[in-house]
Amino acid sequence: MQRNLKRALGRLMPNGFYFSRRGYCPCCDQTVRFLALDSWLRDSFKCLSCGSIPRQRALMTILERHYPAWKDLHIHESSPNRGGRLERDCKHYLASQFFPGRPLGEVFDGYRNEDLEKQTFPDSAFDLVVTQDVMEHVYDPLAAFREIARTLKPGGAHILSVPLVNKHRPSEVWATKAPDGSPVFAGEAEFHGNPVDPRGSPVTMHWGFDIVEIIARSGLTTTVEHLDDLQLGIRAEYIEILVCRKPVPQ
């Protein structure tokens, strides 16, 4: 896939791209070239080696900064794309997806089937939980945050990317679930790509910075970190990474 990406981007150069930059990619751990096809950097500013995009590189940078021993930790990542550095290098990595209609806790197509809102994991199972652009697709995000907090060990953290599209405006519920499971949108229908569902995932929340207050109701303490570092290929819209820590009992 990465070879095809390089060929496709190479055919566009030198006059069919927005800009390029050499640097270090935290997702594939090597010196690379980053290239943006257009001005919407969040999706188009890619690593020519691994295909990562800025929010993925920002999350990996933040994870390594706060948890440098992550390779030895127990990490649960919900709804990932396959073949990332966490999966490759973490000794105790577990990936989950949600497959409606299949038994929860069952392994299917290489993933454990888990509903973030009602997980089957025991308490304090993980050092870290990672979600990348997942929490804007959950119908009951507070239930999901509470479940994530329950499954974290004291001192552990939920590290996530989520587009804070509302910024300083209040967060909005953008879709609710109909009795048949389909989304009922408050406004224009929105779907994002889903690696295990060609229909995509409905956008259920338009988050603002008040997400920190909502997460606090789960018992986690959150900091919002914003990186802008072209050397790491990190520059884009909605690039904030949230680090939500579970307190250690005194």
Specify which residues 161 forms β-bridges with: 132, 241
Q: What percent of the chain has pLDDT over 90?
A: 85
For residue 243, CA distances in Å to 41, 62, 168 come to 23, 8, 19
Average pLDDT value for residue range 88-107: 96
Tell me how far apart the alpha carbons of residues 5 and 14 are, in angstroms, rounded to a whole number. 15
Give the count of beta carbons closer than 10 Å to the beta carbon of residue 214.
Answer: 17
More confident residue, 81 or 11: 81
Q: Using 50, 70 and 90 to split pLDDT, how confident is the model at 3?
A: low
The pLDDT assigned to 1 comes to 46
The CATH number fitting domain 53-245, selected from 3.40.50.150, 3.30.1540.10, 3.60.15.10, 3.20.20.210: 3.40.50.150
Q: What is the pTM of this model?
A: 0.92
Q: What percent of the chain has pLDDT over 70?
A: 94
Which two tokens mark 239? 């690039």
Q: Using 50, 70 and 90 to split pLDDT, how confident is the model at 17?
A: confident
Judge whether 80 and 111 are in contact, CB under 8 Å.
Answer: no
Q: Which of 28, 49, 114, 26 is nearest to 77 (CA)?
A: 114
Q: Using 50, 70 and 90 to split pLDDT, how confident is the model at 208?
A: very high
pLDDT in tens, 211-249: 999 999 999 999 999 999 999 999 999 999 999 999 999
Q: Which of 134, 57, 129 is nearest to 95 (CA)?
A: 129
Judge whether 111 and 178 are in contact, CB under 8 Å.
Answer: no
For the chain, give every domain's residue range. Answer: 53-245
